[in-house]
């Protein structure tokens, strides 16, 4: 497959992509100089090209495709396309609801860990303060009331 005057994709990779998902296509992005992997939108309402500001996104939406990711057009990146698609596939891991549940459980776990960490921090911080407040301090002998003897310059209040 010929992308532009400088780059072409091996036919074996194009065949592997078509067998993995026939709605995928590769296109060269003129602005960034990268290859865009796009997928035809088959569910929901068709894309409105007016939503997109960049010309390449506009063209993709006009054709009914949506960008999945960009990559540099090198041989090693072409070999990683299917691997990346496989690991990015939301339906392989149970669909959007499973993804939402997984993200919510991760978020709840982070909140709980933060609460525990904060509790430990305050426990350590206030342990010494609590000990200080609840310690009975005794007054040394003779530290009670003393009569004012003046400033030491011979003055007296009597």
Q: Domain map of the chain by residue range? A: 11-89, 93-134
pLDDT of residue 95: 80
Residue 65's H or E segment, with its range, is strand 65-71
pLDDT of 112 over the 90 cut: yes
Count Cβ neighbours within 10 Å for each residue of 73-110 and write b for 16 or more, e otherwise: beeeebeebbeebeeeeeeeeeeeeeeeeeeeeeeeee
Helix, strand or coil, per DSSP, at residue 138: coil
pLDDT of 121 over the 90 cut: no
Strand 24-28: give its sheet, edge to edge: 24-28, 35-40, 65-71
How far apart CA 153 and CA 158 sit, in angstroms, is 14
Give me the percent of the chain exceeding a pLDDT of 90.
Answer: 8
pLDDT of 99 over the 80 cut: yes
pLDDT of residue 6: 67
Enter the tokens of residue 150: 């003046």
């Amino acid at each position: 497959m010929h992308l532009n005057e400088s780059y072409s994709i091996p036919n074996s990779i194009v065949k592997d992509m078509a067998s993995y998902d026939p709605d995928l296509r590769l296109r060269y992005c003129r602005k960034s100089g990268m290859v865009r992997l796009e997928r035809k939108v088959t569910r929901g309402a068709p894309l409105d090209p007016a939503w997109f500001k960049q010309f390449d996104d506009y063209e993709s939406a006009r054709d009914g495709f949506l960008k999945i990711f960009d990559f540099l057009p090198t041989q090693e990146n072409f070999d990683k396309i299917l691997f990346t698609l496989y690991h990015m596939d939301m339906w392989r891991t149970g669909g959007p609801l499973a993804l939402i549940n997984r993200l919510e459980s991760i978020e709840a776990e982070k909140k709980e860990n933060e609460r525990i960490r904060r509790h430990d921090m305050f426990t350590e911080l206030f342990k010494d303060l609590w000990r200080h407040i609840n310690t009975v301090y005794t007054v040394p002998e003779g530290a009670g009331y003393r009569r004012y003897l003046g400033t030491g310059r011979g003055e007296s209040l009597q």
